[in-house]
Amino acid sequence: MLVDGQSFQTVWAVTEGTARVRIIDQRLLPWKFEVVDLNSVEEVAIAIKDMWVRGAGCIGATAGFGMWLAAMEAAGEEDFARGLKSRADRLRGTRPTAVNLAYAVDRQLRAIGEVADREVAVRVSLETALAIAEEDVAACQAIGEHGLKVIEELSRAKNGGVVNLLTHCNAGWLAFVDHGSATAPIYAAQRAGIAVHVWVDETRPRNQGARLTAWELAQQGVPHTVICDNTGGHLMQHGMVDMVITGADRVSCQGDVANKIGTYLKALAARDNGVPFYVALPSSTIDWNLRDGVRDIPIEQRGDEEVRMMEGWSASSNEVGEVTLFPAQSAAANYAFDVTPARLVTGLITEAGICAAAEEALLSLHQIS
Ligand SMILES: CSC[C@H]1O[C@H](OP(=O)(O)O)[C@H](O)[C@@H]1O
């Protein structure tokens, strides 16, 4: 997507000179836009774990490129397979909920494992990383086109009036390689000349909505309003939301949706008020081996400092600072995701089209017998 008129993706490979992975460091957005190099698997692992990059598609692609670095590092060791596996385990262990990460690591292990020659294995790992990234871009573009149909229908029902969407967290292009999942239909609607407005949940505790989604939408000129996480229910009660659209970090084979903490509450409010609740995701986010999402999707618990503290821009010191939000002696819990049961989901939007949140519909849409 465009950043101040220049086209960017969130992660890419640098092959000239020393091979390295280059990312948009999302930690200081929206106040500072910084591109940094990751020169080793360990640096890639830290960048994923500490959320320099975040979002299911983005961390999947970053892990894919991390496996390219892993192949190069292991190629210089006596036991290539052992070196590759230990690095794969390091990457896989960084964040548990988004299935895209494990998908990318496992796909790389399969691709590299089929090659005997180490030099060829390194080339295959780069080709595979590029394929994962390119497929993410293509999937998000297709999600945009399929999701556009839903927004067009809402626009027609409102005789061309503004379609008000609500989104939670950041499932925008910063959460993928490009375009995003939840935001792709929004960008497609804007290109199609449909009047849209987005209610942007701030999304405590890391405020991916207020900091990242708002920045993205502002960069693309999409009208939007940042709201506190607890506001959405009121807006839906008063007819101010025509559609909720979110991303997903993992979807079970029966359509249960793991996404940023708070998504479930939005789905409950949407159901109570008859507001369609759509989830946009590339099919690489579907975990075909897991059925009961509420019971079985691993929910990442992060450090309580993310709840205890809040980052912001200090006008006085002209830099990012952080403040403590409550008494030090108070305990804090930091569940990073929740699971919305399929029964609360109106539809799933993938690169293959739109289907009900149900196993048979998912299998049929993705032509899996
Ligand atoms: C669908 S990818 C975006 C997804 O990832 C976010 O989590 P995090 O920022 O912690 O990586 C959030 O769940 C978004 O919906």
100 annotated as a binding-site residue: no
Map residue 8 onto helix, strand or coil: coil
Nearest-10 Cα torsion for 209, 181, 130, 249: 70
Does 129 share its domain with 176?
no
pLDDT on residue 239: 98
Task: For residue 239, count CB atoms less than 10 angstroms from its CB and return exposed for 0-12, middle for 13-18, buried for 19 or more.
Answer: exposed
54 annotated as a binding-site residue: yes
For residue 285, the ligand 1 atom closest to its alpha carbon is 1
Does 88 share its domain with 178?
no
CA 259 to CA 274: how far, in whole Å?
A: 21
User: 208 CA to middle of ligand 1, Å?
Assistant: 8
Question: Which residue among 10, 169, 213, 337 is best mutated to probe the pocket of ligand 1, counting the most ligand atoms within 8 A of its Cβ?
Answer: 169
Cβ 339 under 6 angstroms from ligand 1: no
pLDDT on residue 223: 98
Please give the mean pLDDT across all residues of the chain. Answer: 96
- Answer whether residue 85 shows pLDDT above 80: yes
pLDDT on residue 33: 94
**Minimum CA distance residue for ligand 1 atom 11:** 55
Map residue 68 onto helix, strand or coil: helix
Cβ 302 under 6 angstroms from ligand 1: no
User: 367 CA to middle of ligand 1, Å?
Assistant: 27
Q: List the structure tokens of 115.
A: 């090659």
Q: Span 307-312, mean pLDDT?
A: 95
Q: How many domains does the chain have?
A: 2
Does 171 share its domain with 126?
no
pLDDT in tens, 204-244: 999 999 999 999 999 999 999 999 999 999 999 999 999 99
- Answer whether residue 1 shows pLDDT above 90: no
Map residue 272 onto helix, strand or coil: helix
pLDDT in tens, 315-356: 888 889 999 999 999 999 999 999 999 999 999 999 999 999
CA 50 to CA 57: how far, in whole Å?
A: 16
Map residue 302 onto helix, strand or coil: coil
CB 22 within 8 A of CB 13: yes
- Answer whether residue 195 shows pLDDT above 90: yes
pLDDT in tens, 23-74: 999 999 999 999 999 999 999 999 999 999 999 999 999 999 999 999 999 9
Which of 84, 112, 135 is where one domain is finished? 135
- Answer whether residue 369 shows pLDDT above 90: no
User: 317 CA to middle of ligand 1, Å?
Assistant: 30
Buried b (16+ CB within 10 A) or exposed e, 19-36: ebbebbbbbebbeebeeb
Q: Span 119-132, mean pLDDT?
A: 97
CA 199 to CA 368: how far, in whole Å?
A: 36
Q: List the structure tokens of 253.
A: 């084979």
User: 120 CA to middle of ligand 1, Å?
Assistant: 34
pLDDT on residue 4: 84
Cβ 180 under 6 angstroms from ligand 1: no
Does 122 share its domain with 33?
yes
pLDDT on residue 318: 86
**CATH number of the domain where residue 194 is located:** 3.40.50.10470
CB 131 within 8 A of CB 215: no
What is the share, in percent, of the chain residues with pLDDT greater than 70? 100
**CATH number of the domain where residue 127 is located:** 1.20.120.420
Cβ 284 under 6 angstroms from ligand 1: no
For residue 56, the ligand 1 atom closest to its alpha carbon is 2
> How many C-beta atoms lie closer than 10 Å to residue 115's C-beta?
15
Active-site residue, from 178, 201, 249, 287: 249
Place of tokens 């992975």: 21
pLDDT in tens, 233-273: 999 999 999 999 999 999 999 999 999 999 999 999 999 99
Does 170 share its domain with 186?
yes
* Cα dihedral across residues 58, 64, 68, 71: positive or negative: positive
For residue 181, the ligand 1 atom closest to its alpha carbon is 1
Closest by Cα among 113, 196, 108 to 151: 196
Does 308 share its domain with 279?
yes
State the residue range of the domain holding 86.
Answer: 2-135
Map residue 115 onto helix, strand or coil: coil
pLDDT on residue 247: 97
CA 351 to CA 96: how far, in whole Å?
A: 24
Q: Span 108-132, mean pLDDT?
A: 95
pLDDT: is 19 or 29 the higher one? 29
CA 21 to CA 125: how far, in whole Å?
A: 13
For residue 172, the ligand 1 atom closest to its alpha carbon is 3
Residue 136 is among the residues annotated as catalytic for this protein: no
Q: What share of the chain is helix, strand, coil (3-state, %, to 5)?
A: 45, 20, 35
Which of 117, 135, 153 is where one domain is finished? 135
User: 249 CA to middle of ligand 1, Å?
Assistant: 6
Map residue 333 onto helix, strand or coil: coil
Does 87 share its domain with 170?
no
pLDDT on residue 99: 87
- What global pTM score does this model have? 0.93
Residues 6+ apart with CB under 8 A from 139: 57, 282, 283, 284, 350, 351
Does 263 share its domain with 166?
yes
Does 157 share its domain with 250?
yes
